[in-house]
Amino acid sequence: MMAGRKFKVLVSILVLFIAFSFSACEGNEFEEQNYSGNALGTSYHIKIFTGKEDLQIEKGLDSVFQVINKSMSTYWEDSDISLINRGIDSIKVDANFQNVFKASEQIYKETNGYFDPTVGNLVNAYGFGPDKSLEALDVDTIDSLLQYVGFDKLKLTDEDRIAKENPHIYLDFNAIAKGYTIDVIAEYFENKGIHNYLIELGGELVSKGEHITKQKPFIVAIDDPLQEEGERTFQATLKLKNRAMATSGNYRKFRVDSTTGERFVHTINPLNGKPERSNLLSASVLAESCMLADGYATAFMALGLEKAKKLSLELEDVDVYFIYAENDSIKVYASAGFQESLLTD
């Protein structure tokens, strides 16, 4: 990923899952069921409406999380991605890994390298994190690290293996795998005959159908970037129907220039290894799949406001909501499609 990427230790997820607690109306063939727990280093909340019984949802969810972790968790020492990162080149990756790899490659090319799941070594060297300041690296150190950065230095072979130009290249799908996991859960529900649901995992979302009890689309929200610690106020609320939504940002970790009062965050340019100021504080993305919404949200943060606007206009079935700083004010850019989903009341 990249600075401003969706490493769990670097990014504060900025989308609130609105968990309705209404019971299904008497006589309604659909029953509301709610599931919550912890997975992939974060929490999840799921609401479904179904007339079917004994679907063993918890067991199915556990199976999905197990498969994804075994394939792509950098926290599991024996996962496929961890073994690959240790230089083992005999690992045959599964279909999940392949799907995420191909989507990452697509976004890497579309952003001309600004979205890069191999930038982790460089980001860590700068000391990015919730409580760490930006470290200064000399030119020689940056150059030595850049040899390990570049998604084009990886290849998915015909034998379903990952070939690396340099064995020290470190691959991390945290900026996109969470969204992909939600897509897998949504497919699981569809196969179970469940067609009305809202899935939230670590702030990323997918909805299908509607909230049956209220007979309205599901409602979700985007955090207010100026809220105080412990508050929960919203910048915007919107209807989410038959789409995915992901947000990347760093509201509470932006810096304020002591002279100008300008708010900004630091991102790392994976092309030259240097940190850059960005006034883009968050990027929310609506897309047809949560994997793409997740990846694009991270990519837009790395690109910065103007480049992100330009790319968003070139992408099909993608709508965006950018919160950015201009002088001492917080402003918003919303694409036409995103504006249609916003609630004004």
| 294 annotated as a binding-site residue | yes
d(CA 183, CA 174): 15
Residue 180, both tokens: 């992909």
CB 35 within 8 A of CB 46: yes
DSSP category for residue 342: B
Q: What is the 3-state secondary structure (H, E, C) of 186-249?
A: HHHHHHCCCCCEEEEECCEEEEECCECCCCECEEEEEECCCCCCCCCCEEEEEEECCCEEEEEE
Maximum Cα–Cα distance across the chain: 71
Q: Are 113 and 151 a contacting pair, CB within 8 Å?
A: yes
Is 334 marked as binding a ligand?
Answer: no
Here the tokens at position 3 are 């600075």
- The structure tokens listed for 82 are 């961890």
> Which pairs with CB-CB distance under 8 Å and at least 24 residues apart come from 225-232?
225/14, 225/249, 225/251, 225/254, 225/281, 225/282, 225/323, 225/330, 226/330, 232/16
The answer to whether the annotation marks 138 as part of a ligand binding site is no
Q: Which residues define the annotated binding site for Mg(2+)? A: 175, 294, 298
Q: Which residues define the annotated binding site? A: 175, 294, 298
